[in-house]
Amino acid sequence: MKKLLIGSRESRLAVIQSEIVIDAIHACDPSIETELVTMKTTGDKILDRTLDKIGGKGLFVRELDAALLEGRVDLTVHSSKDLPMELDPRLPLAAFSRRADPRDVLVLPQGKDSLDPEKPIGCASQRRRLQLGALFPGMRVEPVRGNVLTRLRKLDEGEFSALVLAGAGLTRLGMEERISRVFSTDEILPAAGQGILAVQTRQGQDVSCLRLFDDRDARDCLLAERAFVRALDGGCSSPTAAFATVSGETITLKGMYVTARETVHFETVSGPREEGERLGASLADEMRRKYE
């Protein structure tokens, strides 16, 4: 009997997401035994500073990558939006989930039905902060760190007027009732990969057990989005966003570019889906030339 060790961050949401992958593995081959191995990453431990001040999104994968390379786990499960743009070539992305709702949402404190102008809106990214400025002029936007449940506790204890979170995470936690407003992708362009789970493995490992999990549309969208952000050196310290959709064999990608003076620009490109990564990189280069 084959046994697979699945590595995950230890938060409740991360565990739920890993269980989605485990269920897909068992559906593909019921004879495979699985064991979930959870760990706290550096990004989970340092909560008093924003990610751009402590090293970026790589802090959420460092310990998981080490576990893969050392053979302590066979697969790791990530929210795609938390992956750094540059990956260790020894640890390829093996499969991608069908995309859940990619939109950001507004969450108010329990019992409240409107924003309190005396308190800030909490969000964890520069991408959201810049777009919220146009939606809620005059409202302060301040960083909030911690997993989803930690952020909700801070909200309900009165630290914030509202939070902006990824709707997919709340839905996977079974907490849809906390959503007060869903922002369209025109109001807040999502982070690259938002709503998509990614499974990472060691180079050369058999991943046929993931064939029922892997989604072609999600893969093509994610790779195009990541190509756009990577071309701009985007991530935590350089606010960017990208969101792709596919229709038949055509992919459409919308990108967000932010100048040094924090002027925000959006542009869209379409083309053959098999050229998604090239389209993403070329759109980024074009926007950089046009707006800098």
State the catalytic residues: 82
Cβ atoms within 10 Å of 290's Cβ, excluding its own: 10
Look up residue 202 and give its amino acid: R
- The residue among 29, 32, 34 whose CA lies nearest residue 18 is 34
- Does residue 178 contact residue 107 with C-beta atoms inside 8 Å? yes
DSSP 120: P
Question: Apex CA 289: angle with CA 284 and CA 292, to 5°?
Answer: 105
Which alpha helices (H) appear in the chain, and where do they start and end?
12-28, 42-45, 51-54, 62-69, 126-135, 148-156, 167-172, 216-231, 276-291
C-alpha span between 142 and 123 (Å, rounded)? 6
DSSP 119: S
